[in-house]
Amino acid sequence: MKRILMIAVLCCGAIAAMGQIERPKLVVGVIVDQMRWDYLYYYYEDYGNDGIKRLLREGFSCENTMITHVPTVTAIGHSSVYTGSVPYFTGIAGNGFMIDGKPVSSCDDMSVDGVGTSGKAGHRSPRNMLATTIGDELKQAFDFECKVMGVAIKDRASILPAGHSADAAYWWDSEVGHFVTSSYYMDRLPGWVEKFNRRYNTEPKFDLNTSNLGVTYTFRMAEAILENEKLGQGKYTDLLAVSVSSTDAIGHTYSTRGRENYEVYMQLDKELAHFFNELDKRVGRGNYLLFLTADHGAAHNPNFMKEHNQPAGGWDAGLARKSINKAVEDELGVSNVVKAIYDYRIYLNDSIIESNDIDKNQVKEIALNVLKQDKDLILAVDYEKVEQASIPSFLKERIINGYHRGRSGDIFVMTRAGYLPFKVKDDYKGTTHSAWNPYDSHIPLVFMGWHITPGETTIPTRMVDIAPTVCSMLHIQMPNSCIGEPIQLGSKK
């Protein structure tokens, strides 16, 4: 009898122990816009000990993390990190795309008003995104009693990561020179945000995006959120999504090399060190799970590459548009059938095609014949016929993943490696991104903090694996359109 009682007691104790699900107090996601994977090491000797070096020293680095969609741009990257999905399912087909034939920005929402601004920057929400995020799943798991917040200079970099059920998302409106939000989240700015804005502000029209100050202000705001919203202090796991936007704007303007890019990454390193210290103080070292990644990388400047005898250049999309329009007009007698070209996608003008009662497939064929004669392109394909095209399977996957019917256009093109999607002048100093190539799709991914054992892996991992990894560690459901798989991080058991 005593033995039976002892077994019963032990079983009850085991069940009770199993009932205590261990979770971090806070999840922190940091996305560095346009951070190439090699920036972890290119600037390594100049980093301080407590920023990126600490991240690599204490964290687990997934050294072979790739983006599996094209185009590789900011809105898609930010949404994919937090949904574990791709445009095919999320509907976030680019920074800008078409809905019902009308151009929109990824977070446009005229049904909401600005809070902290009366300008157009306030008409923003996550409603164009058709999938849930890590934060949305946290909210569901904890009966909407945890806190989820986002902050960035760019609206899309704050809104999309925070998700649909976020308590707040804050972004910078250069028209007023401070952080704002929209009525999707609240009716007025909290008092602490108004106080923050009085201390940290700029003159209207000042471009904070192309200033190192943008990095500093982003992290000061993130730290203010930690303090005033008491993230990581409640009963349930909270989430803070932070995105650094200035690295992208500076990269676009000055490219991947030189003083400006160096200085912004030195500033990033300094601010990360300060931010890690604040997390240690406010949440507790080992009590938060943090990951750092990027939404995309960037190509080196074509003129810089050519100086060193490496293949590079630019594709003249404007000339391609004129050539397609002329070919269609010559053959079918209809003009201006190309509505837009951006991010390697060609949008045909459906209203013109329909009003002239011509076959859209015929227009596509004419366009494809023109594009296939372009020496700067290695691929031009009808989005609806990618599966049947004679192209490598990994490219098919990325093109299909990046396509959302009704939003992504009609034809996808691919330039030669090192070629940007616009004509490059001899004095051009900047760069861009959106291609499949490793310079755009190979991104950093480092986890640090709660239950993370230091180390690294070169086993292939993907951007879409980030969300299911975090959710698996938290023992919550992955986002509802997630296609990724949890990464083995060497987590403590």
* Residue 98 structure tokens: 């078409």
Check if the beta carbon of residue 493 is closer than 8 Å to that of residue 145. no
What is the rounded CA–CA span in Å between residue 50 and residue 310?
36
What is the rounded CA–CA span in Å between residue 135 and residue 123?
22
DSSP 412: E
What is the rounded CA–CA span in Å between residue 491 and residue 405?
39
Query: Which helix (H) or strand (E) covers residue 137, if one does?
Result: helix 134-141
- Size (the chain), residues: 493
Residue 147 identity: K
**Residue 336 φ/ψ region, left for φ over 0, alpha for ψ in the -120 to 50 degree band, beta for the rest:** left
How far, in whole angstroms, is CA 23 from its chain's centroid? 25
Q: How many CA atoms lie within 13 A of 175 on its CB side?
A: 9
Query: Which helix (H) or strand (E) covers residue 342, if one does?
Result: strand 338-342
Pairing of strands 178-182, 168-173: antiparallel
Indicate which residue of 74, 133, 218, 415 is catalytic.
74
Is 74 assigned a catalytic role? Answer: yes
* Residues annotated as part of the active site: 74
